[in-house]
Amino acid sequence: MASVELNNLGLTFTVRHDKHITLKDFLVGRIFSGFTKKPMLVQALAGINLQVREGQRLGIIGHNGAGKSTLLKVLAGIYQPSEGKRVVQGRISSLFDIALGFEQEANGWENIRFRCYLQGETPPGVLAKQQEIAEFSELGDFLNMPVRYYSAGMRVRLAFSIATAIDPEILLVDEVLSAGDLAFQGKAHQRMREMMAKAQIMIMVSHDLEAARSVCNQVLWLEHGTIRMLGDANQVIDAYQHWASVANQKGESNPGGHVVQAAA
């Protein structure tokens, strides 16, 4: 029985102007404090309470920078929450940033193996799957070539084929994946629908409200890192659309998460 639960969860992180400080800056900054730029504390998520049970299809909507992708990464266990608790039962499969992190020097077959192992496969499992992955990607002999020579479209195709060759219990998806050329996209959408149907729990971040309406039975509207509204998909999306059109007329723009304070 898969389930996901977030209890009063919050995430804060520090952002520096130049991201990395050198050891010299750190030591000198200690002596002449005030010389180095102060890091800013960003509250990306705050007070999130969420329970997702088996059978639910949850969509996450909100403006850019509202914390949608951050929330998804917390759900996936990639970001550790600064406050609150995350309790997950079931195996998580996540589909985001899939085109990142190919080993450039290794060929397609080897990359299939790495990815499968990263997703928790065992050698017999990989053996059983790699042929199917290769066929779905339609890359043929290119799989014997190092990934460094692949075009962007080929990479996405390979990444998508690997990432979706799983039986997900809990599926996390960021945006709609546009994979490869038109013919492949049709195939990809078909497979996404199958996966979403198979998963016990599906959580997706979406900008495409109509897609969210058709796929999800529940929607979470995130604003400034907090839950503005959570409930039935149609209700929440209607409310969001109404709010967005009003905000548009007023000419309001929505900056991202709160910058809480300049940390010392």
Partner 1 sequence: MIFGSDSSTFKQYLAEIWQGRFFWMSLVRMDLRSRYRGSALGMGWSLLNPIFMTIILCTVFSTLFGQDIHSFAPYVMTGLAVWSYLSQSMTLGCMCFHQSEAYIMQHPSPMAIYPLRVVLGNCFHFAISLGLAILLALWGTGWPGLLPLLSLLPTLVLFLIFGWSIACLFGLMTVHFRDVKHLTEVGMQVLMYLTPVWYPAKLLQERGLGWLVQINPLAPFLELIRAPLLDHVAPSPMVFGSALVVAITSFCLAAWTLRVREPKLIFYL
Q: Which residues bind partner 1 (CB under 8 A)?
A: 13-14, 20-24, 26, 76-80, 94, 96-98, 100-103, 105-106, 110, 113-114, 117-123
Instruction: Give the Cα separation of 192 and 197 in Å (integer).
Output: 8
If the CB atoms of residues 120 and 186 are measured against partner 1, the closer one turns out to be: 120
Could you give the CA distance from residue 212 to residue 235 in angstroms, rounded to a whole number? 12
Looking at the Cβ atoms of 105 and 141, the one nearer to partner 1 is 105
**Minimum CB separation from partner 1 for residue 82, in Å?**
8
Residue 4: left if φ>0, alpha if ψ -120 to 50, beta else—which one? beta
Q: Pick the closer one to partner 1 by CB: 117 or 149.
A: 117
* CB 14, min distance to partner 1, A: 7
Look at residues 160, 165, 151 and name the one whose alpha carbon lies nearest to residue 116. 165
Q: With respect to partner 1, which residue has the nearer C-beta, 22 or 151?
A: 22
Tell me the three state secondary structure of residue 56: coil
Q: By C-beta, is 80 or 245 nearer to partner 1?
A: 80
Residue from 82, 56, 31, 37 nearest 225 by CA: 82
Q: How far is the CB of 243 from partner 1 (least distance, A)?
A: 31
Q: Which lies closer to partner 1 via its Cβ, residue 57 or residue 113?
A: 113
Amino acid at 257: G
Stated as kind and residue range, the H or E segment containing 68 is helix 68-76
| Integer Cα distance of 259 and 264 in angstroms | 14
Min separation Cβ 26 and partner 1, Å: 6
Minimum distance from CB of 210 to partner 1 (Å)? Answer: 28
Smallest gap from residue 220 Cβ to partner 1 (A) = 22
Burial of 186 (0-12, 13-18, 19+ CB in 10 A): exposed
